[in-house]
Copies of this chain bind each other. A is one copy, B any other.
Amino acid sequence: NVHLGRLWLQSDLKVIGSPVPPSLTWPGVSGGTRDYNPKQMAIREKVFNTVVACFKRHGAETIDTPVFELKETLTGKYGEDSKLIYDLKDQGGELLSLRYDLTVPFARYLAMNKITNIKRYHIAKVYRRDNPSMTRGRYREFYQCDFDIAGQYDAMIPDAECLKIVHEILSELELGDFRIKVNDRRILDGMFAACGVPDDKFRTICSTVDKLDKMSWEDVKNEMVNEKGLSEQAADLIGEFVTVCVSGGRDLAERLLQNPRLSQNKLACSGLSDVKLLFSYLELFQVTDKVVFDLSLARGLDYYTGLIYEAVLTQAGLSGDTLNGAEDSVSVGSVAGGGRYDGLVGMFDPKGRKVPCVGVSFGIERIFTIMEQKAESSADKVRTTEVQVLVASAQKNLLEERLKLVTDLWKAGIKAEVMYKKNPKLLSQLQHCEESGIPLVAILGEQELKDGVVKLRVVATREEVDFSRADLIREIRRRTSEA
């Protein structure tokens, strides 16, 4: 599959080092990564501001960790996905890998610093040697925005807050309708046991169930039986659960607690009771409109031990109504996911001391892609600078006066610029304002200098009024605080 990935890369993306004349492909960026231009950065900043404001509203601190970890820190944490880890070349010293997510570095940080309680967010880039799909917002370098709560607390309270945060952020970003699917690893494991899956196949069958959002049940069953060697009977029993129980709430948890197979299994029962409890907190948090209990949700990563969840954006289906029939809507991709991982920190502690954790990770690139498309179709131009006023001159030989005035404005905290020409034409200075969306121009002219005034022009209305220097600063502040 990695091999397939490479072939795909070579046909769909520029590959440097291939026998194409260098002048045609060079300079470039690595396949699956991208530059952000100023317009994209302006959108990205807006998204980050919304996300960080929510994290701070919920009382989180932030930390940062290095972009590379010791290779052994990442080893054995990601199951089948480990092949996607980027390694650094052995140039002497330690063996290093680029971080694959922010969760494992967080767990390493907690163990290393013996921290048993923290609520933290972390926004940073992670790296996966995956098949990139630029149009769907999937890259080899991408941002994750993580929020996690570590500590020994009463069941489902921090878990519910993570879901509350997903609900708040996706609502505030106005990305359209969404659904948050929840399930629990204990329910999955209990269900596997109840369906006759051998213990040593739990993880690999779980990985296969995780593909249900991209593959049909027939294909998933086929993989279980023919690739992973599960009995057909066990697969069919799993199918009865994961194809039917995909859109419930507290009621579904209650119904499953009565199910003759599951009710025999202790693990499944404790998971189901916790899901019931979770929904009672979600009601208090007023987010049950978007959360569904879905037995087919599995999540790929190895380290989850309890509740798991994933948020998907939905689009009205042909026959559907996104408000009343979430089942009819079409998923356009996961934008956040997470869960409880009570064992991960202990893997990094020399004495195996556990720190229970629950968290959520926003896959923010897909959100950027949607926001960019929205910005493209919007009538409002995205500004990439915040310049409030251009200091311009109406005649030649006024560079010194422009530099003096712009110095005064900077000192007053006003965002201002001058053109870097000795004698720019007034027209080209005004054009620069139009192009950059600068709302005001302070125009210096010989007559104004004699009179001790500066002309302030409003770009949109072409209105012009003379001000003394002191009044000019007041007027700029007044006009730009209005906007």
- CB proximity to B under 8 Å, residues A92-133: 92-96, 98, 108-109, 111-113, 118-120, 125, 127, 129
Q: Is A196 an interface residue (CB 8 A)?
A: no
CB contacts (< 8 Å) of A127 on chain B: these are 67
Q: How many positions in chain A have a CB within 8 Å of any CB in the partner chain?
A: 99
- Give Cα A67 to B139, complex, Å: 13
- Give Cα A284 to B157, complex, Å: 60
A140 CB → nearest B CB, Å: 9
- Give Cα A418 to B119, complex, Å: 12
- Give Cα A28 to B70, complex, Å: 8
A133 CB → nearest B CB, Å: 16
CB contacts (< 8 Å) of A91 on chain B: these are 86-87, 129
| A59 partner, pick from B26, B66, B387, B399, beta carbons under 8 A | B387
Segment at the interface with B among A296-304, A408-416, A460-468: A408-416
CB pair A66 B16 closer than 8 Å = no
CB pair B410 A58 closer than 8 Å = yes
CB pair B17 A94 closer than 8 Å = yes
> Assuming A88-B86, A420-B153, is B66 touching A30 (CB within 8 A)?
yes
CB contacts (< 8 Å) of A119 on chain B: these are 385, 417
Q: Is A422 an interface residue (CB 8 A)?
A: yes
CB contacts (< 8 Å) of A387 on chain B: these are 59
A residues within 8 Å of B by Cβ?
A: 2, 6, 9, 15-17, 23-24, 26-31, 33-38, 41-42, 44-45, 56-70, 72-73, 86-96, 98, 108-109, 111-113, 118-120, 125, 127, 129, 141, 149, 151, 153-154, 157-158, 161, 164, 168, 281, 284-286, 348, 350, 384-387, 399-400, 403-404, 407, 410, 413-418, 420-422
